[in-house]
Amino acid sequence: MNDEVVKILLVEDNDDHVELTKRALKENGVLNDIYVAKDGQKALDFLYRKGKYSEKTKAPRPGLILLDVKLPKIDGFEVLEKIKSDPDLKSIPVIILTTSSRDEEVAKGYAGGVNSYVTKPIDFNEFVNKIKSIRLYWVLVNKLPK
């Protein structure tokens, strides 16, 4: 088990999906701090502590990033590329959490260094079960570098 509570950055522009994800996490006992960025630019501002995220308390280093691919301003694949090409950020696990299950997008995610690619099912109970799997491994089991 990790000594520190993993902070989660959820990068998602759809308010309904944000609430659904938070609800699914809560129903699986994930009480971690969840920070939300509504577009790719805000996600990068959060990670690099720019603009409204310049204070460390407003943008702590996440131990897990849940990333949608279809985002305004900067898409999720570009965000992933910046994270995985930055020596200070590349060790943060990134899970693509999206509605798209197109083979070329899955391949592009893994080629870009994503740690896991999870599709959002339409059924809430199925979504809760997928979130449970994320919680079990990425929040409770996986050991993160300091």
CATH number where 105 lies: 3.40.50.2300
φ/ψ of 136, rounded to 5, equals -60, -45
Instruction: State yes or no: pLDDT of 43 exceeds 80.
Output: yes
pLDDT reading at 9 higher than 90: yes
pLDDT at 47 over 70: yes
Angle (nearest 5°) at CA 70 between 69 and 71: 100
**Largest pairwise CA distance in the chain:** 39
Whether the predicted pLDDT of 82 surpasses 50: yes
Query: The pTM is what?
Result: 0.84
Q: Does 1 fall in a domain?
A: no
Q: What is the mean pLDDT of the chain?
A: 85
For residue 21, which phi and psi values (nearest 5 degrees)?
-65, -45
Q: Establish if 130 belongs to a structural domain.
A: yes
User: Is 111 within the bounds of a domain?
Assistant: yes
Is residue 2 domain-resident?
Answer: no
Is residue 3 situated within a structural domain? no
For the stretch 50-60, pLDDT in tens is: 999 998 888 99
Q: Which domain holds residue 55?
A: 8-141
What string of DSSP letters covers 92-107? S-EEEEES---HHHHH
